[in-house]
Amino acid sequence: RTNDQLVAFLSRYRDMNFLKSHGRDNARFIRKQGLDRLFLECDTHMWRLGDRKIPEGITVDGGSDWFLLNRKFVEYVTFSNDDLVTKMKRFYSYTLLPAESFFHTVLENSPFCDSMVDNNLRITNWNRKLGCKCQYKHIVDWCGCSPNDFKPADFHRFQQTARPTFFARKFEAVVNQEIIGQLDYYLYGNYPSGTPGLRSYWENVFEEPDGLGALSDVALTMFHSFSRLGLRRAESSFHAAGDNSCRYYPMGHPVSIHLYFLADRFQGFLIRHHATNLAVSKLETLETWVMPKKVFKIASPPSDFGRLQFSEIGTEWDAKERLFRNFGGLLGPTDEPVGMQKWGKGPNVTVTVIWVDPINVIAATYDILIESSAEFTHYKPPLNLPLRPGVWTIKILHHWVQVAETKFLVTPLTFSNQQPIKQEEAIKFHSGPPKNAYMEQSFQGLNPVLNIPVSAARADQAKRNAGLVGARLDAWVDSLVSSVWSAVDVCSVGATACPVLQGCAQTAWSSLSPDPKSELGPVKPDGRLR
């Protein structure tokens, strides 16, 4: 609903407090929320210290930590020194999720108890089958649930609410932007025909003032390589014989990095970087768009096994939204990759997954039982580190017949702690695991069975590559990166001596291209910011 409708509603009920309660089973709620346990946050982790008793003589309640409170009650919980507020503040200081219960409990036991409305005016997209997977155990000693992001298939829920509703969660443009556009159109009508950028989404992941410490060595290595791929693209696309006006030499670190999505599909990275124009010896700022190449392939000729739809390797697998949060799958020798497969419906089957390193050492093999209703499977094999740099291959077999394969890059590092890597560090990170043993068990006997030849020449070359530093290391990295990424386009941020280089603001893809839907300004009479 619109801002005007919200203002009218809250003006009418300005003496009420809108909170959503969990329901009637108080004992279950207390157990589920861990209110009978003592928690303490330390070193960015929430530690469970032991059991405790619930205070006697009060009604404990709770539910959603999204609510609307009126001024009188807010002033009461902020400034009052009465027994209830003081004791509840102390009790909830050692609680896992205090905001999900503190305000409910204080309100229901205070003189303001008659002002509570059991409705927080919002829809939450709960899918407990996906959202309750204990996915936050690394930061908290507890299992909780988290709502899913809305997608276009959920739009009907906004139109079918019987109770007053003004807000909804969650929305996340990297997961789905289309639903946000649908809501915008529903509330305010269409943008004018020809409005640019409506299906595009840009998300900044690095800006120069953040400092290089905000980037991992893997990311810094890749972003430098992407910049060099862009300069090569500019030279090959725009350079004329004997004319240096579109030839560049890279300078300094990247200054800005964006994720770029179009029609809810990841399109790659946008890297803004400095380079010296060789024709005029002047510094210019360019932006390069790099896109991942397609690396998933169904076997040819295709097998009669038709359930597998897609497979991908990455890190930061989000089991709730079923995607890798490490967009683009930037992986280095010390990362722990996860293999994901997407399935169509069909009979129960067992498939074999085989991980092959760049010199054809079989690093891991395992079976997965795919149940008839399974949509996604994921598994992280416990590989010994460091992983050997280069392009890895994942083979998926059914009855030992190859169904599909996918590839992923483990990049060599050109940086260590944001400094150019030294040779002893390079050898340590780039030589693969000791004795080529990724696991205790050796899978060497499978090489002839799977027709994966072990090449001594490849192994020797990998050993030589492990000691590379400087320009030769950059060249190795670039050759690997260009096998799985392509520089799609390059544009100029400011003045340029290259006459055919397009200005970034004139492109449809650049982070500097027009994006009217995201431009914020003064609030207009209709409540809109844009």
Q: Residue 244's closest CA among 280, 206, 191, 273?
A: 280
Residues 45/56, Cβ–Cβ less than 8 Å? no
Provide the pLDDT for residue 363: 97
SS (H, E, C) 174-228: CCCCHHHHHHHHHHHCCCCCCCCCCCEEEEEEEEHHHCHHHCCHHHHHHHHHHHH
Residues paired with 365 in a beta bridge: 354
Q: 372-406 burial string, b = 16+ CB within 10 Å, else e?
A: eebeebbeebebeebbbbbebbbbbbbeeebbbbb
Domains of the chain are 3-169 (no CATH), 298-467 (2.60.40.1930)
Query: In this structure, what token pair is assigned to residue 9?
Result: 């509603």
**Kind and range of the H or E run holding 50:** strand 45-51
Residues 91/134, Cβ–Cβ less than 8 Å? no
How far apart, in whole angstroms, are the C-alpha atoms of residue 496 and residue 513? 17
Query: In this structure, what token pair is assigned to residue 481?
Result: 């990166």
Number of H helices, E strands in the chain: 13, 23
HSE-up of residue 341 (Cα within 13 Å, Cβ side): 30
Provide the pLDDT for residue 305: 81
Provide the pLDDT for residue 290: 98
Query: In this structure, what token pair is assigned to residue 13?
Result: 């009920």
Coil, helix or strand at residue 98: helix
How far apart, in whole angstroms, are the C-alpha atoms of residue 188 and residue 516? 15
| CB proximity list for 480: less than 8 A, separation 6 or greater | 389, 390, 391, 409, 411, 412
Provide the pLDDT for residue 4: 85
What sign for the dihedral angle of Cα 494, 500, 506, 507?
negative
**pLDDT profile of the chain (530 residues), mean per 10:** 90 97 84 90 90 91 94 97 95 92 96 96 88 73 86 90 90 97 90 94 98 97 98 86 86 98 98 96 97 95 84 96 97 98 94 97 96 95 98 95 96 98 98 95 92 92 97 98 98 94 97 91 74
Provide the pLDDT for residue 530: 60
